[in-house]
Amino acid sequence: MRERNQYSRSKIDKDKGKILSALKYPSIPLSVNDIYVITLEGDRLDLMADQFYTDTRLWWIIAQANPDQVRRDSYSLPAGLEIRIPRKINIIINSFIKLNK
d(CA 39, CA 78): 7
Query: In percent, how much of the chain has pLDDT > 70?
Result: 81
Domain residue limits at 67: 4-99
Q: Is the pLDDT of residue 95 over 80?
A: yes
In our burial notation (b when 16+ CB lie closer than 10 A, e otherwise), range 48-86 reads: bbeebbeeeebbbbbbbbbeeebeeeebebeeeeebbbb
Least confident range from 11-15, 37-41, 55-59, 64-68: namely 11-15
**What is the average pLDDT score of the chain?**
87
Tally of structural domains, the chain:
1
Average pLDDT on 35-44 reads 97
